[in-house]
Amino acid sequence: MNVLIIGAGGREHALAWKISQSPYAERIFVAPGNAGTAQIATNVDISITDFEELAKFATDFNIMMLVVGQEAALVEGIADYFAEREYLQHILVVGPRRAGAQLEGSKDFSKQFLLKYGIPTARYETFTAETFDQGIAYLQNHPYPVVLKADGLAAGKGVVIAQNFEEARAALSGMLQQNQFGAAGSKVVVEEFLQGIELSAFILTDGKEYVLLPEAKDYKRIGEGDAGLNTGGMGAVSPVPFADDAFMNKVRQRVIEPTLQGLQQEGIPYTGFLFIGLMNTNGDPYVIEYNVRLGDPETEAILPRINSDLFELFKALHDHELGQFQLEIDPRSATTIFLVSGGYPGDYEKGKEIHGLQTALPENTLCFHAGTKQTHSGQIVTDGGRVIAVTALGQDMEEALEKANAAAEQITWEGRNYRRDIGFDLKQYLAERL
């Protein structure tokens, strides 16, 4: 079977890597892909939102499965485009239609949905330019810190955690009056700050049945000790020590099942991955956000822990048989460290030659590309903020982290930066439990 994967990050490289291990996989294409996907698949130079060209490519190359890694394509309706055209309907699309993608595409929509279906989440209010003054009054009376979120997609940059009223006022004004995020910031969700440790939970669902995938913890801040600006994600750990059966049963009963019931009641079809960003507050899960695709870098940590064939999993999705699917999970720990460009998440330079990629990686270590490209002369150079994700598997988190750190050190370029403390809070959690 020929497959087309949509996206260009470490997540899509990991998806291509995992799919390439399946005996059902024939040709694998990635649009637009990166220098890493080019080594195991064929890159296709088509924009992820040029549905007409993607559909033409899918027809010409006999694509049977479309796996959408990136949210923008889903929010703009790639799954609707394929579902609405008879000549494309035989293609199995992994990714929800526009209606379902609203769970990620609009924070206001997702907050209303959470509230309506009684799913635990932070208290909130939504403001627009018209209700700016009410927003200011709300912020004056709100405890701090407070969280402000641009309603629409803002590439992970639309969330501000304000420590005091002045910061909150500046953020609200930036979004509503100065159009800082364009249309994405024309509505702003203001919500209560939740204390706790975060967790990313993932399911694959047909809107009714689901398979719970391994969970992961992402490290979003640029600096060690979780300091500094938010990034797309600097590293990940899977499994997460506090996500034991008792906690995950709460996630199933209080979050996943009511979410699927809510989608059904709203008449919203859903076929694909759903990523639920959770806060563990005193042992109880609260939803921070929904995403309608897998996480990046979480994917680079969770796919190496899935032993089952992804084709079989996607086939079960389309045959509505996920309820019986026995997912085989590797009990080992996987940890991922993202190597990023100097200056990221602020301004950074591209085009730096990457060294150390040819060196054989130690056993049980994987290297996924994100912002990389190959020059005409064959060099692999940096082409983005997040550049290379290194994943290592180990008997426990400590061993996996040691291996991932050792491998990360070997891959270098001018200005490359990474966090050497991935997993620090989970080590602390484990130490406190002893």
For ligand GLY, the binding residues (CB under 6 A) are 218, 233, 291, 295-296, 298
The CB-of-302 to ligand GLY minimum distance in angstroms stands at 11
The CB-of-390 to ligand AMP minimum distance in angstroms stands at 22
Q: Are 145 and 163 in contact (CB under 8 A)?
A: yes
The CB-of-238 to ligand GLY minimum distance in angstroms stands at 12
Q: Nearer to ligand AMP by C-beta: 154 or 406?
A: 154
Q: Nearer to ligand GLY by C-beta: 352 or 386?
A: 386
* Positions that interact with ligand AMP (CB under 6 A): 122, 147, 149, 159, 191, 193-194, 198, 220, 277, 288-289
Q: Nearer to ligand AMP by C-beta: 33 or 385?
A: 385
The CB-of-56 to ligand GLY minimum distance in angstroms stands at 29
Q: Nearer to ligand GLY by C-beta: 285 or 295?
A: 295
432 burial via Cβ count (<10 Å: 0-12, 13-18, 19+): exposed
The CB-of-365 to ligand AMP minimum distance in angstroms stands at 27
Q: Nearer to ligand GLY by C-beta: 152 or 233?
A: 233
What order do you get walking across the sheet with 124-128 strand by strand? 124-128, 187-192, 146-150, 159-162
Give CA–CA dist 289/85, Å, rounded. Answer: 32
Q: Nearer to ligand GLY by C-beta: 200 or 205?
A: 200
Contact partner at residue 300 from ligand AMP, ligand GLY, none, CB < 5 to 8 Å by partner kind: none
Contact partner at residue 193 from ligand AMP, ligand GLY, none, CB < 5 to 8 Å by partner kind: ligand AMP
The CB-of-320 to ligand GLY minimum distance in angstroms stands at 27
Q: Nearer to ligand AMP by C-beta: 147 or 316?
A: 147
Contact partner at residue 295 from ligand GLY, ligand AMP, none, CB < 5 to 8 Å by partner kind: ligand GLY
The CB-of-33 to ligand AMP minimum distance in angstroms stands at 25
Contact partner at residue 235 from ligand AMP, ligand GLY, none, CB < 5 to 8 Å by partner kind: none
Contact partner at residue 304 from ligand AMP, ligand GLY, none, CB < 5 to 8 Å by partner kind: none
Q: Which residues, other chains included, contact 380 with Cβ-Cβ below 8 Å and sequence gap of 6+? A: 35, 353, 354, 357, 369, 372, 373, 374
